[in-house]
Amino acid sequence: MSTYYTFPDNFKWGAAASATQTEGASQQDGKAKNIWDYWFEIEPERFHEGVGPMITSDFYRQFKDDIKRMKAVHFNSFRTSISWSRLLPDGINVNEKAVDFYNNVFDELLKNDIEPIINLFHFDMPLHLQEKGGWESLEVVEAFNHYAKTAFELFGEKIKRWTTFNEPIVPVEMGYLNHYHYPCVVDMKRAAVVAYHSMLASAKAIKSYRQLNLEGEIGIILNLTPSYPRSDSEEDVKAARIADLFFNRSFLDPSVLGKYPEELIELLRDYDLLPVVNEGDLDLMENNTVDFLGVNYYQPRRIKEKGAPIDSNNLLPESFFDSYIWPERRMNPYRGWEIYEKGIYDIAINIKDNYGNIPWYVAENGMGVEHEERFLDKAGMIQDDYRIEFYEEHLKWLHKGITEGSNCFGYHIWTFMDNWSWLNAYKNRYGLYRVDLDTQERSLKKSGQWFSQVAEHNGF
């Protein structure tokens, strides 16, 4: 006999996207360049098949039809971001064409009973602010606060759920510990500054939001990667705890609890990695924690003790632990990521037990697959049963977490339609709708039919 999984009343079913990855029109209607526009100009060969951010999935022109498609698959919510460089091209003055565009998008969503959840920063630093140092600069932290306030004042009557950042660890990890995001710096001390200033910027924006006395809530979206030790040896457990401190708790604790873990502070101090903390910073964070949390979950981390001594001249987070391959793991070979559905349950219980059972939702969960045309049937529909299975198994574990008391209010997939993904461009497809890049036509995949049923019946 099969089990029926029913989710709480008013559960949020939908998808996530971002401005740079879907809008296109990247140099139109007054939008200034962000770091992706610039990087594609100077190094187009870095981007998969030379596809840049100019057109992406053309949401800027097709949003009305796309929102009809969301309605057709029974979305009751949708998360996207505002483009900072579209709304404030010079960082100060408002671009009226951008205001019109976002108002039209939000009105169309609301008209279709789809709640907009609006995020402010999704990896798309305006170029002129990156030239001032990006998140290394306190001037840019202030510029972000001006942008956030502007957005709240313009759209705060319509938007009842805001988030400050999506995955603030990613610009740190990919742009300051790796070469996968501009500015391609590899320097752990500078990375720590970027991480700290991101949290300062988030707290300032939350404070500004509350000062406006708008009716609504403000949160943050973090990608949480549970760190599982290879064994219960003291060394493996400590290594996993350090990975957790760097990749999860460095953002989760200040966002929800208003303070950094002591163990993280000590570790950074021991290796001379602590950023400068100015007077009032810690009070600001303590008094401006989030109302809710978005959690992006794709994969776990498998950790064992470090096999080599720490080289304090070339520090990276990985200087403190090694990864290992779990013998039982299942992989998504296209993305190189482990598929581990139970991770979503472990996150649910961790939030319940250690973070005051704050309201949270799954803000992204998805499976990217290359060359999906292989699975086109005669009628032109992609038969992506692998994606349906991925969602089903994650939802079963999420359901278990909810029945055990975790305060989860929604599940958003990545993503609604195939979209552009940074250096990977359109290499891995994630959408419920296929996007033909030559024609920009959309067509529903089998997973879209499946998700539509789940959302309509609030379960499966």
Q: Which residues have a catalytic role annotated?
A: 167, 364
DSSP per position, 375-393:
GB-TTS-B--HHHHHHHHH
The count of other CB atoms within 10 Å of the CB of residue 177 is 22
User: What single letter denotes the amino acid at residue 95?
Assistant: N
In DSSP terms, 407 is beta-bridged to none
71: closest CA among 100, 111, 18? 111
What is the Cβ-side half-sphere exposure of residue 344, based on CA atoms within 13 angstroms? 31
The count of other CB atoms within 10 Å of the CB of residue 200 is 25
Distance between CA atoms of 439 and 276, rounded to whole angstroms? 51
Instruction: Please state whether 40 falls in left (phi above 0), alpha (psi between -120 and 50) or beta.
Output: alpha
Distance between CA atoms of 256 and 252, rounded to whole angstroms? 6
DSSP for residue 313? T
User: What single letter denotes the amino acid at residue 171?
Assistant: P
Q: Residue 133 is encoded by which pair of tokens?
A: 């140092």
User: What single letter denotes the amino acid at residue 101?
Assistant: F
Residue written as tokens 């349906």?
Answer: 388
